[in-house]
Chains A and B, each alone.
Chain A
Amino acid sequence: MIAKTHSLFDRRIIGPAVIDSFRKLNPVFLLKNPVIFVTEVGAALCTLAVAFRGAGEAPGFIFQIALWLWFTVLFANFAEAMAEGRGKAQADELRKARTRTQASLLQADGSVRIVAAEELRKGDFIVVVAREVIPADGEIVEGAATVDESAITGESAPVIREAGGDRSAVTGGTRVLSDRIKVRVTANPGESFLDRMIGLVEGAHRQRTPNEIALTILLAALTIIFLVVVISLRPFGTYSGVSLTVTVLVALLVCLIPTTIGGLLNAIGIAGIDRMVQKNVLAMSGRAVEAAGDVDVLLLDKTGTITLGDRQASAFIPAPEVTVEDLANAAQLASLADETPEGRSIVVLAKKYGFRGRTISEMPGAVFIPFSAQTRMSGLDFEGRRIRKGAAVAIQGFTGKPIAVEVQDAVSYISLSGGTPLLVADGSNVLGAIHLKDIVKGGLRDRFERFRAMGIKTVMITGDNRLTAAAIAREAGVDDFVAEAKPEDKLTLIRREQTAGHLVAMTGDGTNDAPALAQADVGMAMNTGTQAAKEAGNMVDLDSNPTKLIEVVEIGKQMLITRGALTTFSIANDVAKYFAIIPALLVGVFPVIAPLNIMGLRSPQSAILSAVIFNALIIVALIPLALRGVKFRPLGAAALLRRNLLIYGLGGLIAPFPGIKIVDIIVNALHLV
């Protein structure tokens, strides 16, 4: 795994993050975050006020307010730096793969010239042989090789890459283990997949997502509103004979503007992408992560996503007057040398009937007949017996006799139940049928159930006929299916769902999936897939596990929920801060207002200082939540809303009351004011 899960407070991340939070004090940088920028301006004003203070103001008090305002800004910067730091740590791991390599460039005349990898350009042809690092992203045009892609995927088992088909793409930085391949370079230096990955996990050029932009607008508007409130308070105070100093007004302002969410907003977004990376999914943009939360239709390929890639033998149905053991024996013999997963599963199933797996080499004279497109059968010639297995039509042609009614019934039963029937023949006798079954992956039914509760529709897409598709759909528990689908149908289906207002997610790996991947709102390409697929989608799954789409949706939702929860919390907090600060401002001139000080804060100064300190500390307290995300629960909208509103809305309303009170007690115990 490249994505080592870093513990939340890894020392190697905290150190640089602390330094970064000071570097981020640069106002030009903070301008992008209006709430924190205003806080910084306030901090600067208060710092100046220490020197140019009005009569009767204690410098110690102003100094402490200024200090805590600077802390507020630093804490917000720290949250962002922490989130970035986690990404950087992962980027560093990736950089190790990007060592300086040399490339064997194929010249026009067929000779090979050794050049540095940086000199390769799109369209060049290179040769890579065993134990060499592939110098650039490319597509195999000749040959096949086993490739160690652990630098990218973390998966140590080598994978096979070969020219033509959907597994021809190779990634720069991975290592060829065997054979020799000719590769056409598809990316210029600096634009390679590895470079993009590093950029993404580092969050170097992170763009704000639409939702983040909308939220920033709201936060900026709230900041302006509270600016008006605080600025207008001064003339109102003048009218009432209450003189309000700059320090006090700034303290009130910073307590009211949503610093909590303002300080954590960026961290939440970066952490969202980071969580994807930890799941070995590379989101090409934050926008894609956000879209994942909005998705309400999942388009799932049957093969690989819902079922294990291969069919498995699940039962032997013997012909009349044939024992199941005879059938199992013959079926096993016919499959001994069949290295396909189906063949292996038949051997395994036969073992249950007491037939140990034999190898052809133990059986002198045995000849394996491999599957061919012409015969559409495979089998074994052995001691004069000619054993074959294959589709019903092929076997009928082989035996030259009509198939018994009972066997025909078995064949139609297997088809109806969503399986694939294979017949086994020994010479001219049909011994019976093998039931090959699509094996639905474990736990999917529960997951789809949860998705239904969340209002997400799952649609299975398959090339199988309707009956087979319906049976598997029923077993897997998907909401809908499309049978006899051609690859182009995916695009049509996505367009149709989108026209109806849905947001669609899908996975794909083949070149013919590329248009659909590009059209889908979330298109997750498999890392084993073609370059075209990877470029069309907005996410790449390094583990090439299509089922992961489900986790991607959960992470997207989790990020949105975290953002919403902290926004609500931040705004609800203001109520308590009012109860701390307003009485403190007025009680000097209007002692009768004392009952409003419901927290019983000791003095006006300690009340204001406590509110400011609480306001700063709550940012730090919530950093883990922002980075880790609110725990996701698969519930319907109403239930989720009720739950989160109770925790973050009501909690946000109540929590600061005891919080500020405790800070006030400490402030007084330490005689800070």
Chain B
Amino acid sequence: MNIPGWIQLVLFLGVLCLLTKPVGLLLSRVLDPEGRTPFDPVLKPIERLLYRLLGVDPKAEQTWKQYAFSLFAFSLVGLLFTYAVLRLQHILPLNPQKLGPVPPDLAFNTAVSFSTNTNWQNYAGESTLSYFSQMVGLAFHNFASAAAGIAVAAALVRGIARRSAKTLGSFWADLVRVNLYLLLPICLVLSLVLVSQGVIQNFQPARQAALIEPAGTVATQTIPQGPAASQIAIKMLGTNGGGFFNANAAHPYENPTPFSNFLQMLAIFLIPAGLTYYLGTSVKNRRHGWAVWTAMAVLFLAGVFVCWRAESVGNPRLTALGLDSAGGNMEGKEVRFGIFNSSLFATVTTDASCGAVNAMHDSFTPLGGLVPLFNMQLGEVVFGGVGAGLYGILVFVVLAVFLTGLMVGRTPEYLGKKIEGYDVKVAVLTLLILIFSILGFAAWGAVSRPGLAGLGNKGPHGLSEILYAFSSATGNNGSAFGGLSGNSPWYNVTLGLAMFLGRFFMIVPVLALAGSLGRKKLLPPSEASFPVGGTMFIIILIGTIVIVGALTYLPALALGPIVEHFTMSGSALVY
């Protein structure tokens, strides 16, 4: 833990804090169908055209069921479309490498992965997918699934803010407006800046280069090309995380400079942070928005500290053998980024449901790897995925308010909305789905032949790999402990199911919660209202998230990273 690291951390959080308000204000306008944005002169006609093509009336508001149905139908059509593109890529254009069709289980996994904003990649982009598949089949989801997540968050916020209302807005208007006025403009700017840093953007076939120092019989290297920059921008901004190249953000064509690295991490947190401000403005309680932001920031810093410290200390066994110098644990890390930027990136990408990586999480120390794993198991609510982070943490807010709200001597109430049986039911349902999927699939994997076959390591670390895979899939993160080979029929199907459950089975109860809250009367605020701003609330929210998370996953984690940590630090065993 060194001075440059501290400076970069302060800079990162500081810039994020400064950008929260402007992004939040932009979100307020984008998510209001009547709202004006700076891009209206150019994009308004396109917006109208899109409504006409979709055949929807943007002013027609939907109930929670209609909203959920629209979202579900839209995502399902997108999923099937991508499946078709992947299976048929050999007869579709833009395939200079002449790649064949993607096998059915892998196509299923990949289609689910992208339509759920997960971007778990059981394929290697450059050797499996054509440019057409990448740009049309996948990139489309990077926009659509991100916009859908933001739409759900907006619907929930509307439910909280409205009184005695039956509707939550129009999914179609939200989808179109978020894409046009939020994602496209920012991505355009971001990809240009990334190109300026050296991220490639072309349609050329892969190049063959002669090795300067031939390794045995290998004398040439294949250097992939392609339209990377445009993909990278939305991959980060939309917390998708699917790399253009297999090495993801560790690849020099995807993430060439420290500045591009900084920008990419910032892009991940940009919209999730702005959404907290949007929450504050919508419910007319800015303090609440900032309280949620602060709770997230505290959890974020805690993660960074643990991970950074664990990686800086490195493996004491190797140090004792004189194998590791003062640099800490550099295995699996880019020398360009070093310990701090790898730890920070790992924390950011798993706090959010991004899943882009600039270092190999599998090679982190046990505690360093525990941080990304635990982040995902908490439900990725620390800023979180675009939209998904906000609605995830709001579910925790509802539970925290219910748990502690009674202690003020009233029926628990959140921003004037009484939390009743139905709300508790749908809120805990989201937790249950998460837990069932993560622990259920992982437990199955840990004792089944196909589950064990994919492991790259034995012992506690192997268990960590399985846990990581299903936590990542269920949380729609997409990053992996790379030691696990996920491209087998069993993993393709189970991970695909986990992603599906983690996305749509979460969204339905969240929208039900939004509908229920929206229908309620609003109790006027008074001295007796539960305080949802300030230190007390922040502590309660953090406490609820950590305790619920810890209580749920501690036993499994104890057998994985925790035992591994004690084995590394407390025994003479060398891995």
Residues of chain A having any CB pair with chain B under 8 Å: 210-211, 213-215, 217-218, 221-222, 224-226, 228-240, 242, 252, 256, 290, 293-294, 296, 452-457, 500-502, 556-558, 560-561, 563-565, 567-568, 571-572, 574-575, 578, 582, 585-586, 590, 592-593, 595-596, 632, 636-638, 640-642, 644-645, 648-649
B410 touches A557 (CB 8 A): yes
Chain A residues lying within 8 Å of B529, measured Cβ to Cβ, are: 455, 637
Chain B residues lying within 8 Å of A568, measured Cβ to Cβ, are: 403-404, 407
Closest to B428 in A: A221
Closest to A633 in B: B409
Chain A residues lying within 8 Å of B522, measured Cβ to Cβ, are: 501
**Nearest CB in chain B: distance from A579 CB, A:** 10
A560 touches B558 (CB 8 A): no
26 intermolecular pairs with C-beta atoms under 8 Å apart: A221-B432, A225-B431, A228-B440, A230-B555, A232-B440, A236-B442, A256-B551, A294-B410, A296-B526, A455-B529, A456-B528, A500-B524, A557-B410, A558-B409, A565-B407, A574-B547, A575-B550, A586-B563, A590-B563, A592-B566, A592-B571, A593-B562, A596-B562, A637-B527, A640-B407, A641-B407
B424 touches A214 (CB 8 A): yes
Tell me which of B446, B526, B530, B566 contacts A236 (CB under 8 A): B446
Q: Which of B431, B440, B447, B558 is the most central at the interface, judged by chain A CB atoms within 10 Å of its CB? A: B558
> What are the 9 A-B residue pairs with the smallest beta carbon separation, nearest first?
A564-B406, A455-B528, A557-B409, A455-B527, A221-B428, A455-B526, A564-B407, A232-B443, A239-B446
**Besides the known contacts A502-B523, A592-B571, 7 further A-B residue pairs in the complex with CB atoms under 8 A apart:** A214-B420, A229-B552, A229-B556, A296-B528, A571-B403, A590-B567, A640-B409
Closest to B409 in A: A557
B428 touches A218 (CB 8 A): yes
* Alpha-carbon distance A572/B544, docked complex (angstroms): 10
**Nearest CB in chain B: distance from A655 CB, A:** 15
Tell me which of A221, A228, A236, A641 contacts B559 (CB under 8 A): A236
* Alpha-carbon distance A225/B523, docked complex (angstroms): 32
Closest to A239 in B: B446
B536 touches A240 (CB 8 A): no
A640 touches B563 (CB 8 A): no
Q: Are A582 and B554 CB-contacts (below 8 A) given A218-B428, A238-B447, A455-B527? A: yes
B460 touches A240 (CB 8 A): yes
Tell me which of B435, B527, B540 contacts A228 (CB under 8 A): B435
Q: Are A561 and B440 CB-contacts (below 8 A) given A228-B435, A578-B551, A592-B571? A: no
* Alpha-carbon distance A215/B431, docked complex (angstroms): 16
Q: Which of A236, A238, A453 is the most central at the interface, judged by chain B CB atoms within 10 Å of its CB? A: A236
Instruction: Determine if B425 is an interface residue (Cβ-Cβ < 8 Å).
Output: yes
Instruction: Determine if B33 is an interface residue (Cβ-Cβ < 8 Å).
Output: no
B428 touches A239 (CB 8 A): no
Chain B residues lying within 8 Å of A632, measured Cβ to Cβ, are: 409
A638 touches B551 (CB 8 A): no
Q: Are A217 and B566 CB-contacts (below 8 A) given A229-B435, A637-B531, A638-B534? A: no
B170-216 interface (Cβ within 8 A of A): none
Write out, one digit per residue, whether chain B residues 411-448 have a CB within 8 A of any chain A CB (1) or not (0): 11000100111011100110110011001101110110
Instruction: Determine if B543 is an interface residue (Cβ-Cβ < 8 Å).
Output: yes
* Alpha-carbon distance A571/B550, docked complex (angstroms): 12
* Alpha-carbon distance A673/B210, docked complex (angstroms): 72
Chain B residues lying within 8 Å of A217, measured Cβ to Cβ, are: 421, 424-425, 428
Closest to B520 in A: A501
Tell me which of B419, B536, B547, B550 contacts A645 (CB under 8 A): B536
Instruction: Determine if B272 is an interface residue (Cβ-Cβ < 8 Å).
Output: no
Closest to B531 in A: A638
**Nearest CB in chain B: distance from A215 CB, A:** 8
Instruction: Determine if B336 is an interface residue (Cβ-Cβ < 8 Å).
Output: no
Instruction: Determine if B65 is an interface residue (Cβ-Cβ < 8 Å).
Output: no
Instruction: Determine if B287 is an interface residue (Cβ-Cβ < 8 Å).
Output: no
Chain B residues lying within 8 Å of A234, measured Cβ to Cβ, are: 443
Chain B residues lying within 8 Å of A558, measured Cβ to Cβ, are: 409
Interface SS majority for chain A = helix
* Alpha-carbon distance A565/B407, docked complex (angstroms): 6
**Nearest CB in chain B: distance from A586 CB, A:** 6
**Nearest CB in chain B: distance from A563 CB, A:** 5
**Nearest CB in chain A: distance from B543 CB, A:** 7
Chain B residues lying within 8 Å of A567, measured Cβ to Cβ, are: 403, 406
* Alpha-carbon distance A228/B428, docked complex (angstroms): 14
B527 touches A453 (CB 8 A): yes
Chain A residues lying within 8 Å of B223, measured Cβ to Cβ, are: none
Closest to B448 in A: A235
Number of interface residues of B (CB under 8 A): 68
B435-484 interface (Cβ within 8 A of A): 435-436, 439-440, 442-444, 446-447, 452, 459-460, 462-463
* Alpha-carbon distance A451/B459, docked complex (angstroms): 61
B408 touches A637 (CB 8 A): yes
**Nearest CB in chain A: distance from B512 CB, A:** 14
Instruction: Determine if B131 is an interface residue (Cβ-Cβ < 8 Å).
Output: no
* Alpha-carbon distance A643/B529, docked complex (angstroms): 16
Closest to A647 in B: B407
* Alpha-carbon distance A190/B459, docked complex (angstroms): 70
Instruction: Determine if B48 is an interface residue (Cβ-Cβ < 8 Å).
Output: no
**Nearest CB in chain B: distance from A212 CB, A:** 9
Closest to B571 in A: A592
**Nearest CB in chain A: distance from B555 CB, A:** 5
B409 touches A560 (CB 8 A): yes
**Nearest CB in chain A: distance from B530 CB, A:** 6
Q: Are A564 and B439 CB-contacts (below 8 A) given A240-B563, A293-B411? A: no
Instruction: Determine if B570 is an interface residue (Cβ-Cβ < 8 Å).
Output: yes
* Alpha-carbon distance A170/B384, docked complex (angstroms): 66
A235 touches B447 (CB 8 A): yes
**Nearest CB in chain A: distance from B404 CB, A:** 6
Closest to B524 in A: A501
Q: Which of B407, B410, B534 is the most central at the interface, judged by chain A CB atoms within 10 Å of its CB? A: B407
Chain B residues lying within 8 Å of A636, measured Cβ to Cβ, are: 527-528
B528 touches A637 (CB 8 A): yes
Tell me which of A213, A214, A574, A593 contacts B402 (CB under 8 A): A214
**Nearest CB in chain B: distance from A431 CB, A:** 51
Instruction: Determine if B36 is an interface residue (Cβ-Cβ < 8 Å).
Output: no
Instruction: Determine if B52 is an interface residue (Cβ-Cβ < 8 Å).
Output: no
Instruction: Determine if B284 is an interface residue (Cβ-Cβ < 8 Å).
Output: no
**Nearest CB in chain A: distance from B381 CB, A:** 17
Chain B residues lying within 8 Å of A454, measured Cβ to Cβ, are: 409, 527-528
Instruction: Determine if B405 is an interface residue (Cβ-Cβ < 8 Å).
Output: yes
Closest to B568 in A: A592
Chain B residues lying within 8 Å of A222, measured Cβ to Cβ, are: 428
**Nearest CB in chain A: distance from B511 CB, A:** 19
Closest to A456 in B: B528
Closest to B544 in A: A571
Q: Are A561 and B528 CB-contacts (below 8 A) given A217-B425, A236-B556? A: no
Chain A residues lying within 8 Å of B526, measured Cβ to Cβ, are: 296, 455, 457
Instruction: Determine if B98 is an interface residue (Cβ-Cβ < 8 Å).
Output: no
* Alpha-carbon distance A20/B124, docked complex (angstroms): 67
Q: Which of A222, A252, A256 is the most central at the interface, judged by chain B CB atoms within 10 Å of its CB? A: A222
Tell me which of B431, B524, B547 contacts A575 (CB under 8 A): B547
Instruction: Determine if B521 is an interface residue (Cβ-Cβ < 8 Å).
Output: yes
Chain B residues lying within 8 Å of A586, measured Cβ to Cβ, are: 558-559, 563
A501 touches B521 (CB 8 A): yes
Q: Are A560 and B563 CB-contacts (below 8 A) given A214-B419, A217-B424, A501-B524? A: no
Closest to A572 in B: B547
**Nearest CB in chain B: distance from A460 CB, A:** 19
**Nearest CB in chain B: distance from A239 CB, A:** 4
**Nearest CB in chain B: distance from A394 CB, A:** 47
Chain B residues lying within 8 Å of A214, measured Cβ to Cβ, are: 402, 419-421, 423-424
Tell me which of B406, B527, B556 contacts A563 (CB under 8 A): B406
Closest to B554 in A: A578
Chain A residues lying within 8 Å of B540, measured Cβ to Cβ, are: 641, 645
**Nearest CB in chain B: distance from A338 CB, A:** 46
B534 touches A235 (CB 8 A): no
Chain B residues lying within 8 Å of A211, measured Cβ to Cβ, are: 406, 411, 420
